[in-house]
Each structure stands twice: as structure tokens, then as C-alpha cells.
Amino acid sequence: MELLIEKILVYALAAIFCVAVVMVYLRKQRRNSKIVEEKIRQAKLDGLYEPVSLHPVVDPNSCIQTGACIAACPEKDILGIRNGKATTINASRCIGHGACFHACPTEAISLFIGTEKRGVELPHVNQNFETNVPGIYIAGELGGMGLIKNAVEQGKQAVENLIKSTKKGHKAEFDLIVVGAGPAGISATLTAKKHNLKSLTLEQDTLGGTVFTFPRSKIVMTSAMDLPLFGKVKLYETSKTELLELWNQVLKKNELSINENTKVDSIIAEPGHFKINTLSGEHYTTKNVLLTIGRRGSPRKLNIAGETLEKVAYRLLEPEDIKNKEIMVVGGGDSAIESALLLADHNNVILSYRSGSFKRIKPKNSEKINDAIKKGIIEVRYNTNVISIEKETITLTTVKDDKQSKLKNDLLFIFAGGELPTQFLQKIGLHITKKFGEAILKH
């Protein structure tokens, strides 16, 4: 009898222990799910929940919540576990490494482009990277596949392909003009040199493309890649500075220069070649064009006097380095407001907006800017336009009665929207399709 009671007690204790473990586990899971739910709520408020391009899609039937995808993703809070299944949180921040795709032991993740709600426009290219207009090629992120390594590889392949179909003896000034000097454009420029093509690279901004815009402190994740005229680059976790230094060195060593601050405005097909016109008024003829312009588009300019002065910028890099300046930010969208707020801590910031109120900005930005206005941290000049930029001042005019005022000014940031790459491509006559959730990488 005593033995039986002892046995029952042991079993009961074991059962209680098991139930306790399960309860602790379930409670922890519920708590973690709540945290992820809160992050999703915030991501929706911040407009980061809906993916804008590549993003992971989790198959709930295969997911066994190992969390391997979350551990593998180098970006923060793109994936989380909710109710025992992986789910996306800030999906718009996904840059498409595919690290999650490879890490998942049950193959529950696929990489998609676009969603049912938000389509992504992609140009048609064939396996040689040629578009529907013979002689115009596309490589890099513009074609749908992001990442530095892919861009470098595609830039190289596109040039190698176009060489095969370029007949000698044409009358154009160049064999190839590369538009855009991000990783794809740099790689294409080097490949063109390697094969003795007469080529020219035009960049609307600065060498490096999207990489140039990364914060200095960002860890850039990449994998081994083959850089033409250099060889294997074995960088895995690197920095923007290291990458830019490498690209600059290779270009210099091969006596290559890139025409920076030269935006290609139009590409016109003429008999036997293309005519390229830049915004700064240069014209070139070329047999082939390689578009490596990425997906960020071109900032819209105000087209006013003084806009070429060095103090004018269309993006904000390293705000922490800007102190004690008289700054004007132009625009009423999220970028303008976020930049004004970032600069306001250490500078005198005025925001000029042509409308009477901020519409269609994220609720969080609306809250922050109203608070900053109330506290006198930022001055907003509604219903105004900048009409000219001088070395130490800017001239502002009111929309209604054209009253002009001159303000002291050291730096001017313009966020007046931009031209999407698709608009540019359509002008050239390239075919574009909208992808509403198409698997780019699946098991």
C-alpha cells in the first residue's frame, strides 16, 4: 500500500512538474506574442508593416517556431513569433538578403515581391538583361533583385552579354553608356574597361549609389563577390566606408572616372544608336545603354536660382554632424518632417511648406511635429515657396499675396518628392509589369 501511495505521489509530482513547465512555456509564449502584436500595431502606425518590395512570406503549416529566421535576419524586427508562428513586423524594411529563407530548417519561408495590396513595378528583361528596346539593358536592383553582391554580378553579366551582340564599326561616340554608379554600375564600368569597350558612366549623385546613403555606423552584410579587374572580394560584415574605399581604389587603379552630379534626363533612339541627354545639358551618342539606376528614383528639383549651390541637398546624411546652423527644410511629407526633427536638436530649423497643413503623413510624425511646433523647437512657414537661394540667405514668398522675405541660411534640404524610376523607364519606351505578390525565391 505504502509503495502504491509513493508511486502515486511520484506520478502526481511528475505530472504537476510537467503541467507547470507547459504553463510557464505557454505564459512566456503569450507574453512574447503580445510584444510582437504591439510591435505590429506600431509598425502599422508607422507605415512599415506593408512590404514595399522583397519580403519574406511564412507558410504557417510548415513553421515550427524555431526562430532561426529571426536570428538569421541582420535587420531588426522584420520577423517575430506570434502565437507559435513566425510573422512579419516591419516588412517594408526587408532588404531581401534571403538569410531567413536559408536559415529556416523546415523551409517555411519564401521571398516574394509585391503584395495583393501593393504591386511592385518591374521592367521586362530577358535572360541577357536586355529590355524590349534592343540595345538598352538593365542590371541591379532596378530589375527586381536587390543586394550588393547581386548588383555586382548582374552589372558584370549584362556587359558581357551586350558585348556579344554589339557589332564593330558603329558611328556612335561610345560603345556603352552606363547610367547610375551604384554597385551594379561600378561593376559594369569595370567590366567594360576589362573588355576594352569605349564606355562612359553617368551618375546623378555620388559614386556608391544606395550604399553611399547608408549611415556610417551601419554594418553592411554581404557575401564573397567577384569584382571585375580586382578579383574575389571576401567581405562579409563590412562598412560603407570600406566598400566605397575599395570601389574608388579599383576605379583609380584602372584610370576610370565616373561623371558624378550628371543626371540622365532622356534617352532617345536614333537610327543605329541612342542619344543621351543630361540635365546639365550634355549630349552623347552610344550604341548600348545599361541602366543601373536602382529603385530609389530621382529627387525633384525646385528649378530656382541658386539651386546648384553646395549648401543645397536632397537627402540628409549624418545629421549628428550638423550643428549650430541656420537650416531650412522644404516639404511637407514624412522625409521633410523626419529630417527637420532630426536637425532641430542642435540647429535653428525652419520648415517651409507650400500648403496650409500637413496631410498624409504618418500619425507618429504628425504627433512629433505638432509637439515640436508647440515647444518652439521648429518654426513652420505654411503656404510659402522658396523662390531663390543665395550664398548666405534664401528668399521665401507667401503663396497667397506674394510677400517676399529674406532669411539667414546656411543649409537647405529639399524634399519635394521625386520621379520614380518607372516614370523614367516609361519615357524611354520600356515595358513594365506590376507584380502583386510573386515568389522570387522558393523551395
250 touches, from ligand FAD, ligand SF4, none (C-beta below 5 to 8 Å by class) = none
Q: Which does 94 bind (CB under 5 to 8 A by kind): ligand FAD, ligand SF4, none?
A: ligand SF4
**Residue list 35-94, contact with ligand SF4 (CB under 6 A):** 56, 72-73, 75, 78-79, 94
Residue with cell 500648403: 355
Helix, strand, or coil (residue 292): coil
Q: What DSSP state is assigned to residue 300?
A: P
Of residues 48, 5, 112, 130, the one with CA closest to residue 430: 130
d(C-alpha 138, C-alpha 129), whole Å: 6
Out of 108, 109, 136, 148, name the contact with ligand FAD by CB under 6 A: 148
Which alpha helices (H) appear in 345-435, and where do they start and end?
Answer: 363-374, 421-428
In terms of CB distance, is 17 or 236 closer to ligand FAD?
A: 236
- 95 part of the interface to ligand SF4, by CB under 6 A: yes
* One character per residue 160-189, x = contact with ligand FAD (rule: CB under 6 A): -------------------xxxxxxx----
Quick one: what does residue 146 bind among ligand SF4, ligand FAD, none, with the CB cut-off 5 to 8 Å set by partner type?
ligand FAD
The partner residues of 126 in beta bridges, in order of sequence, read: none
Q: Grid cell 535587420 — which residue? A: 75
CB atoms within 10 A of CB 135: 20
Question: Between the CA of residue 340 and those of 330, 390, 411, 425, what are the distances in Å?
Answer: 9, 21, 12, 32
Give the number of other Cβ atoms within 10 Å of residue 149's Cβ.
Answer: 18
In sequence order, which ranges of 96-171 are alpha helices (DSSP H)?
99-103, 148-164
Q: Answer whether 368's CB lies under 8 Å from 344's CB.
A: no
When CB distances are held under 5 to 8 angstroms depending on the partner's kind, the choice from ligand FAD, ligand SF4, none that residue 276 binds is none
**Closer residue to ligand SF4, CB minimum distance, 95 or 312:** 95
How far is residue 264 CA from its own chain's centroid?
20
**Under the criterion CB under 6 A, does residue 149 sit at the interface with ligand SF4?**
no
Out of 51, 98, 155, 332, name the contact with ligand SF4 by CB under 6 A.
Answer: 98
> How far is residue 344's CA from residue 215's CA, in Å, rounded to a whole number?
19
* Residue 96 lies near ligand SF4 (rule: CB under 6 A): yes
User: Binding to ligand FAD (CB under 6 A): which residues in 257-276?
Assistant: 263-264
Kindly state whether residue 295 participates in binding ligand SF4, applying the rule CB under 6 A. no
Decide if residue 178 touches ligand SF4 (CB under 6 A).
Answer: no
Give the one residue of 63, 79, 147, 178 binding ligand FAD; rule: CB under 6 A.
147
Amino acid at 192: A
Tell which residue, 143, 128, 244, 129, has the closest CA to residue 186. Answer: 244
- Residue 217 or 324: the one with the smaller Cβ distance to ligand FAD is 217
- Interface residue with ligand SF4 among 51, 87, 97, 130 (CB under 6 A) is 97
Is residue 51 at the binding interface for ligand FAD, with CB under 6 A as the rule? Answer: no
Residues that bind ligand FAD (CB under 6 A): 95, 140-142, 146-149, 151, 179-185, 202-205, 209-211, 220-222, 263-264, 292-294, 296, 298, 424
Residue numbers of the site for ligand SF4 (CB under 6 A)?
56, 72-73, 75, 78-79, 94-100, 111
